[in-house]
Amino acid sequence: MPKRRLLRMFLFVAAAAVLVWSVRFGFADAWVDQYSLPASALSELPGSSLPELPVVAPPTSVKPQAESMPDAPIMPKAVVLSNRITEYHISVALDEANGGLIGEQTVTWKNPGRKTVSELYLHLYPNAFTPGSTFIKESKGELRGDKMKAGGTGNMVLTSLTTEEGETLLPRLHYVQPDDGNKNDKTLVTFRLPEPVKPGMSITLRMNFTVKLPDVFARMGKAGDFVMAGQWFPKVAVYETAGMRGRMTEGWNLHQYHGNSEFYADFGIYSVRIDVPETYKVAATGFQTRTPTIAGGRKNFQFYADDVHDFAWSASPQFEYVENSFSSVGVPGVRIKLYLDPLHKDLKDRYMHAAKSALAKLGEWYGDYPYSTLSVVVPPADGNGAGGMEYPTLVTAASAQNDNPGYELERTLVHEIAHQYWYGLVASNEFEEAWLDEGFTSYTEDKLMASIYGVIPNLPVEASYITNPEPLKQSSWRYRSSDGYAENVYIRGKLVLSSLERQVEDKTMSKIMRAYFQKYRFRHPSSSDFQKVVETVTKTKWTDFFQAYVQEGQMTDFAVDSISSSKTGEGYESNVLLRRYGGSPQPVSIWFQFQDGQTVRKKWDGVQNHVQLQLRSSTPLVYAAVDPGLNVVLDNRKYNNYLKTEVPKEVRTRWSTGITQMIEGLFGTMAW
Ligand SMILES: [Zn+2]
């Protein structure tokens, strides 16, 4: 999911930072005179100053548009791509009168380890929407700019749990809370198996369950006759083997449902029957293997997906359906299926263009999109909490708030489609290393927006948002707040990749990203697995970099600490003290201006944390700047990058213009 509200909020911080910076030169008055923008004007910026959408030619490899029926069946392919630890056969009926789901499932779990396993763990995620849960305690009923409605709670009840032979296991159930010990949290349950499962062997269990859907909040629920079923069935936890993600010994990876965290699951097979009223359309992970059957006013769908680690579906009688076939390099052939809120039915070309362009770029940059479908759900305005979310082969776009949205339509959609690669295929552990998904996805989102729409991110401004840097290798719920989570996992995570890109240059960075995807798809890698790829591709050690920015929450703050100029005989001697506060060594440009207008540009290797420079000149030194081009993307305190000895009047005017131009630049880029 994207995090945009935060960015807008920090627009003020960016403006304030530039103002403070300009005060240092005595320019604040000039700035304020020219730009006395009232707060209301600022808050209107993202919507009001949207640039016109450029007319971009659709990807050249688009095949002739083959409109087809939403329910046309597809057959599974024989090729096996993942280790398929789990196999689910689910049958679920929407109980639209009571806002619930009634399900039964048979799940087979294969022991991937070298030890015998005698207990199983299930995530019962809908219990997060029950009062007293850890999720509600942490989120305080507010998440992603959305509020939980009073009385809009949800839950899941396991009504039966048996072996294949019919032995009940219900009395063995007990809820566990490994993260916080909150006894009211029932999102994770365990039970002792009747027979231990030996390495390489499987167990099959049957269960019946009911779900009370919450009013749409935090990704799932119901809003009128719109339903988003995400994390809606009892889901087996991940059993990690030794060596996986740096684990010394094998075992279950166990976490509750948290306010900030998203999910983690094993790859497998899903065969899911969905029963809804006859008038409903259903979007789901995977594809249909037969045309739906209709009986007694109900419609029964049969979906199938393999080599995926989750299954989500959405239903509504209102959906406007559009389908196109698409193929390109890295996209062997995919049916793009749009399920639009009626308010957006005239925007189908924008959705289709964004989806095709994003898939084409991702296929070309990283590797094949191996699935035969990609479904896009556009929720209604009151289903906003379900918008902007990723599931395997199914994404939800931002909800339809008005009939003329700006770039947020494309930005949200390409972000969610980028998740198909990092969340869907690479599938890192979002409980423990969320940046490997959201940071990577935000980085890819910027690349897609630049390459498809020419929208270039303003990274120096985004760096100034980082006011509370925290480690990226940190469990999601340990961040200080949900804003702190977003600031670090999305923005700082992205900046860490951008910083790496600036240091190794674009071509090498492309190789790194592709190599990482190719090596780790379907494998749940860790931050150090990514580091190993970086080191292999660049043939260089990046220990300091990963220590500073991933293991720890450092930033790189380059500063001109002091500057002095004094007369010596014929000319002047100037002393400049440069410092690098935090971060790992990296070369940086330095720049000097003298009173006669001459400028000198040099490089500092940035290896030490400070350097004292001495310059001789015929006129006094006026300014010194470190990183004047704002290239160090992890520098969140740009205001100390410059220092002056004095400000002659004519220079003041010039600089004043420069600053005001930069302000305009900031506002321009923020307006997406
Ligand atoms: Zn996301």
Centre of ligand 1 from the C-alpha of residue 279, in Å = 32
For 45-58, the pLDDT digits (tens) are 233 333 333 333 44
pLDDT for res 2: 57
Question: Where, residue-wise, is CATH 1.10.390.10 in the chain?
Answer: 427-554
Hey, which bits of 285-435 come out as E strands? 287-288, 293-295, 298-308, 313-316, 320-328, 331-340, 373-377, 389-391, 394-396
Q: How confident is the model at residue 646 (pLDDT cuts 50, 70, 90)?
A: low
416 Cα to the center of ligand 1, angstroms: 6
Residues 87 and 267: their CA atoms lie apart, in Å, by 9
- 571 vs 6, more confident: 571
pLDDT at 12: 44
State the distance from the centre of ligand 1 to the C-alpha of 165, rounded, in angstroms.
Answer: 42
**Type of residue numbered 230:** G
CA 257 to ligand 1 center in whole angstroms:
17
For residue 445, the CA-to-ligand 1 centroid distance in Å is 9
Bridge partner residues of 665 (DSSP): none
Cα(258) to centroid(ligand 1), Å: 16
Q: Between residues 114 and 41, which one has the greater pLDDT?
A: 114
Q: What is the mean pLDDT of residues 530-550?
A: 98
Give percent of the chain above pLDDT 90.
Answer: 79
Residue-level pLDDT at 71:
83
578: left (phi over 0), alpha (psi -120 to 50) or beta: beta
Q: From ligand 1's centre to the CA of 449, what distance in Å?
A: 15
Ligand 1 centroid to Cα of residue 418, in Å, is 8
Residues of the chain with CATH 2.60.40: 80-266
Pairing of strands 331-340, 293-295: unpaired
Distance from residue 113's CA to the centre of ligand 1 (Å): 31
pTM: 0.86
CA of residue 339 to ligand 1 center, whole Å: 20
Ligand 1 centroid from CA 422, angstroms: 10
CA of 657 to the centre of ligand 1 (A): 38
H-helix or E-strand spanning residue 2: none
Q: How far is the CA of 2 from the centre of ligand 1 (A)?
A: 5
Token pair of 427 as six digits: 């599938």
Report the SS3 class of residue 109: strand
**Length of the chain measured in residues:** 672
Rounded distance from Cα 414 to ligand 1 centre (Å): 10
Residue 34 predicted with pLDDT over 60: no
Residue 476 has pLDDT above 60, yes or no: yes
Ligand 1 center–CA 441 separation, angstroms: 6
SS3 126: helix
Task: Note the CATH architecture for domain 427-554.
Answer: Orthogonal Bundle (1.10)
pLDDT of residue 24: 39
User: Nearest CA to 372 among 437, 303, 447?
Assistant: 303
Alpha carbon distance 104, 107 (integer Å): 10
Tell me which long-range contacts 57-60 makes (C-beta under 8 A, separation of at least 24): 58/353, 58/356, 58/357, 59/328, 59/356, 59/357, 59/360
What is residue 23's predicted lDDT score, i.e. its pLDDT?
37
Per the prediction, the chain carries an average pLDDT of 87
**Cα-to-centroid distance, 516 and ligand 1 (Å):** 19
Ligand 1 centroid–CA 259 distance in Å is 15
Return the minimum-mean-pLDDT range out of 13-22, 71-80, 465-474, 518-527: 13-22
Greater model confidence, 610 or 74 = 610
Q: Compute CA distances 375 → 228, 417, 517, 634, whole Å.
A: 13, 10, 22, 36
- In the chain, DSSP finds a helix count (H) and a strand count (E) of 14, 32
Percent of the chain with pLDDT over 70: 86
647 vs 474, residue with greater confidence: 474
Of the listed ranges 91-100, 173-182, 371-380, 640-649, the one predicted with least confidence:
640-649
Dist. CA 430 → ligand 1 center (Å): 11
Which of 23, 536, 73, 65 has its CA nearest to residue 302? 73
Ligand 1 centroid–CA 366 distance in Å is 18
Q: Dig out the tokens for 194 from the structure.
A: 């009747």
Structure confidence at residue 3 as a pLDDT band (50, 70, 90): low
Cα of 520 vs centre of ligand 1, distance in Å, is 19
Question: How far, in Å, is the centroid of ligand 1 from the Cα of 263?
Answer: 12
The residue assigned the tokens 């599931």 is: 391
Task: Give per-residue pLDDT as tens, 273-307.
Answer: 999 999 999 999 999 999 999 999 999 999 999 99
CA of 256 to the centre of ligand 1 (A): 20
> Cα(415) to centroid of ligand 1, in Å?
6
611: Cβ–Cβ under 8 A, 6 or more apart, which residues?
577, 578, 604
Q: Which of 285, 319, 277, 330 is nearest to 303 (CA)?
A: 285
Contact 378, 397 (CB under 8 A): yes
Q: Which two tokens stand for residue 157?
A: 């009840």
The per-residue pLDDT for range 385-434, each reduced to its tens digit, is 999 999 999 999 999 999 999 999 999 999 999 999 999 999 999 999 99
CA proximity to 363, closest of 438, 437, 417: 417
CATH value of 80-266 in 1.20.120, 1.10.357, 2.60.200, 2.60.40 = 2.60.40
DSSP 401: -
**408 CA distance to ligand 1 middle (Å):** 14
Query: Can you list the pairs that 143-149 forms with residues at least 24 positions away whose Cβ atoms lie under 8 Å?
Result: 143/217, 143/218, 143/259, 143/385, 143/482, 144/1, 144/3, 144/5, 144/218, 144/385, 144/388, 145/5, 146/217, 146/218, 146/384, 146/385, 147/217, 148/214, 148/215, 148/217, 148/218, 149/215, 149/217
